Structure 1
């Protein structure tokens, strides 16, 4: 059973109540959240020791239920007192101020108490406004219509938001008027697992009035006071947001790689879509074409390379603290892409995993086939990107190949999928067809590839199970190499 909202709120507002801490800890203990339970038990002082040594669990449970009833009664009394105080305030104001400042012409903000920062939940509950003023504000918001959702990622450990992450998010929002939807990204070591759309659950909706007050509402189905249609709508928007992020990081990587190779930026996306060997981008979609001017201006602005960035309409307003804001990323917290570093690859020989990264964000984690000691270790870059490297789609290197630093080693497909996960190659990195085609579409030539005997990368497979969830923009034509049939360590 999950702890009811009232007891959590009570603990946050009354951090000195040792019995409340004890009861909260017992519920965490029953749900298997040991760390939070121990934290609550420590805050409960002598109550924990007294109950654990002298009372049976059944008696504790009875008292627990009784305490919940008391808390509900106290909450209702507090609501009544607040309403009474508000009425008295209005009466007082009506008696001593002129008619021009009557209640219907005034705007008095009701600010709730901040949550105790030592609480394990850090205020992770929505605050209910029960006074008349709050109801009026809610009515006005309803008439204005819902705001479009703004998304960001937030770290999870064991499927739960950490106190540190929640506290950091709330502190960031205290002086910003915003409504943010957080998507959970599981944290493993130093990595955040981006994964696929279903693996990024809706976690919380944070609201800030810009004056220090931040509230939150759980979006988990068992907690959310919302309809299934509301959640479906948010989930659909979150999927679209995730797809745009993947398109943006693919463009950013290609633009950056082009600049490093040629010394200038590609003015048009068509410059990235040349036939082999100038195929800097493997595939393109209509949304990527629309996004390209903004991404180009954004990258130039960050590098200080834009000639007239202040007058460029694609960049939007700038802030010395927040960086440039992009119109296409108005649905992203901060107004710019969530993934900010060009793509790179780590191959872990110990776990047979190829990890695709943007900084510390794991975009994909594929299972691969290797050659044991025959697979070299070290740093490489993707030099050639070739469609059908054997001259046909069913060759031993499959439909895609990416040569490493002009050597005899490559990342490629295979006509022997049973070798994936094993050390049966002569040194190359073998991938399933759907995986290598997706990787080919995402990474440009010049992408950094690091091969290690052992790495601290995730072990779980992170790749879309459904074909429709894959990153599969329309293949750019002319990416075969008519002058060569590849024989990587054949």
Structure 2
């Protein structure tokens, strides 16, 4: 299936890079790296290094050094050593220039240090004495392992280092303290063989009993993406083995955060179409029938909050800005750990041949249900919109539509008390689900969601079945009247 927001491929796509949301840029743009820093990643080592080179060529050494030092804030990176070397070259060039100026104007040379330099020398002398005391004691500082802490990557050291990356395979359920001890011991042993090398050890969880506890050279960079901890040790410059535990929860929660965002965006799109503009507050989506676009505001999975902020703070929950240009910018996670989420509307796909219903958003399946269809091929093909979201819908006959229904006009997706009709063709044209299945589906289908009824197997690529979807449901849900007693529905049944 081709998604509605991605129906045709643009021939310029191969020459553009997606920075964020709806912003694309060509690498040939002379301001490319400045825009990467401004819109994508303010700490990008590559972007700062390239800008530093630009200023260095222009002779603006102050700005060049600023950007090179920004590179040093991120470690490890491929540009770390190059930035160190560039700073050293600039300093040497500046020193040579100063020497030439001194020879050219000898009368300006001073035989006595200015007061500022004297003060600086005294401060440096005191600091050196303090360091000697710290490292000469019975329990030197370097023996302390730094845990659960992001260490500073910047450094004023300007000589080159060579990284030696390794991977250590860790058994599941290993306690953090045991991991720290193993990494510390292994780093010290490796440093004996490579004293001038920067040791990097990535800890990766392994289910293979034969590899657990082993340390090997890192040959596959993809392993670094699954690392739960990383250790760094460079004995030539720092006696401390630095250990940092990584956020392993991000990959688990990112798909759920995407589903939560697109659930609300789908409802916002429908509301905007019905009322000519988005609501001033998200509460407008949570009303009694027939304006129950949603049954609740989902939790943002990374932070476990569904609070709403007017601007991004990173404190959790969601950001809602009704004046934004598109759904992606209008509603998104208020969490620094979540990547930009494209708008992929929540919709239903029905395969008549297989009697299957899927609730889908992007590449993820929220629910996959077996259904019953109309006898004599009465269930129509085509694309429909959810017009009514009803609990306990009333028909001309008692219990005609089960416990809940999603009205599409003349037909509906509704529950049934005749579970033998599921998987067969017995209805008058409606799509039937068991009452349990329709109740699971109901809160994740917003008003205005599209329903695609197709005859046979979908041509779309396989989707990933999303687990733990109920983690998006808040413990406290708004009290809505979604069961209109005075409305009689005349779906085909």
The structure with more radius of gyration: 2
TM-score by length of 1: 0.46
Give the TM-score taking structure 2 as reference length: 0.46
Q: Would you tell me which structure has more helix in proportion to its own residues?
A: 1
